[in-house]
Amino acid sequence: MSEDERIYVGSKPILSYVTAVVTALQRADSVKVLARGRAISSAVDVVEVTKRSFMTDIAVDDISIGTERLGEGDAARNVSTIAITLSRQKS
Amino acid sequence: MSEDERIYVGSKPILSYVTAVVTALQRADSVKVLARGRAISSAVDVVEVTKRSFMTDIAVDDISIGTERLGEGDAARNVSTIAITLSRQKS
């Protein structure tokens, strides 16, 4: 049993990531939902939909934001990132 | 001097919100940067750009996410929200 699974949110439909989070939380103690740039909004949607409709017993343990540098030379640019750590509440 | 200012991030250019955050942190102890839906990514950009390029001494004290119900009847829908609390580090 792994301790920390990672799910990268991109441009697929929200529900496909929700399914991935639910599956991951059934085998792992905690799951990190990660996203960059425009997908940050989708990552928050994934967590909120999972919590509201699929697994009401999950807790948001930590949210952190940051910046990553993508590309090289003239094409280099800064992209914002988010990491949301979820776990199932022990009850 | 107010203790907690709020800045709502929407669809204007990132730099106009960055200016608002910098101004607010000069008169308040802490500032809450708020956004809904697609603007959540922009709110993270605002905080990251402010921290990186304008005020390197700010700290992210708290990040929380949630859901708000907008509209009524058939038009009602859930929208994700974010609230990022910033303060200047005492040095």
Rg (CA), chain A: 14
Using DSSP bridges, classify how beta strands B77-88 and B30-36 pair: parallel, antiparallel or unpaired: antiparallel
Residue B86 predicted with pLDDT over 50: yes
ipTM summary value: 0.90
Tell me the whole-structure pTM to 2 decimals. 0.91
* Region B2-88: CATH code: 3.30.110.20
Distance from CA of A87 to the nearest CA of B (A): 15
B78 vs A: CB within 8 A: yes
Rounded Cα–Cα distance for residues B66 and B80 (Å)? 6
Lowest average pLDDT, out of A19-23, A25-29, A42-46, B78-82, goes to: A25-29
Rounded Cα–Cα distance for residues B15 and B28 (Å)? 20
Of B44, B67, B80, the CB nearest to A65: B44
Q: Position of tokens 């990531």? A: A17
Q: Indicate the domain borders of chain B.
A: 2-88
B37 vs A: CB within 8 A: yes
Which residues contact residue B58 at a Cβ distance below 8 angstroms, ignoring those fewer than 6 apart? Answer: B25, B50, B51, B86, B87, B88, B89
Using one digit for the tens of pLDDT, what is the confidence trace for B1-10? 456 799 999 9
> What residues of A are in contact with residue B66 (Cβ under 8 Å)?
48
A78 vs B: CB within 8 A: yes
Average pLDDT over residues A19-23: 96
B2 vs A: CB within 8 A: no
Report the candidate in B44, B78, B71, B35 with the shortest Cα–Cα distance to residue A48.
B78
Between residues A1 and A6, which one has the greater pLDDT? Answer: A6
A16 vs B: CB within 8 A: no
Using one digit for the tens of pLDDT, what is the confidence trace for B14-71? 999 999 999 999 999 899 999 999 999 999 999 999 999 998 899 999 999 999 999 9
Q: Which residue of A has its CA nearest to B38?
A: A41
